[in-house]
Amino acid sequence: MLRPEMIETPRLRLEPVSAEVAQAVVGGDLSVLNAGEGWPHPGTYRGFQAALSSGRPPGWLVVLDGRVIGDCGVHGEPDESGTVEFGLGLAPQYRGLGYGTEVLRGLSAWLLLRADVVAVIGHADSANLASRRVMEKAGFVEDLDSGERVRYILTDPGP
């Protein structure tokens, strides 16, 4: 089973979320951490609840200067082909500052070091140019476009 470990990036720390912390956040108790303004966001609750319901680790908190500004994780274990899908969300005031790209680079590099992962994928609505640009800046390439959703893939984390 994929067990999150601490990931350090130039400006951020991706800290593993325990089931206890995820349960507290889902229950509305933020006293267990130092939440930045605007976090948690609606996707946090959905992601943590899905992880808790399935019994898998909830993922990582995105921490800047001791404050939680977002969260990220995967949508399950790598499939039989070695592909795993990520999810990422930042509080609104921390978007557009390069943090999303930094998180995605760090998370993808960590995932691609695993023997059971050969590709990391992400999805965005076709009209969500900001999310698409984050993936492109992190080295992902467009893989499939359904007209409404676009899938991006990364198989090499680069330097």
Model pLDDT, residue 75: 93
Both structure tokens of 13: 């720390």
DSSP codes, 16-70 = EPPHHHHHHHHTT--TTS-BPTT-S-HHHHHHHHHHHHHTS---EEEEETTEEEE
For the segment 105-145, what is each residue's pLDDT rounded down to a tens digit? 999 999 999 999 999 999 999 999 999 999 999 999 999 99
How far apart CA 78 and CA 117 sit, in angstroms, is 6
Q: Helix (H, G, I), strand (E, B), or coil: what is residue 98?
A: coil
Say yes or no to pLDDT of 158 above 80.
Answer: no
Q: Which CATH code fits 7-154?
A: 3.40.630.30
For the segment 49-97, what is each residue's pLDDT rounded down to a tens digit? 999 999 999 999 999 999 999 999 999 999 999 999 999 999 999 999 9
For the chain, which residues make up each domain, given as ranges? Answer: 7-154
Of all residues in the chain, the percent with pLDDT exceeding 70 is 99
pLDDT top residue among 147 and 158? 147
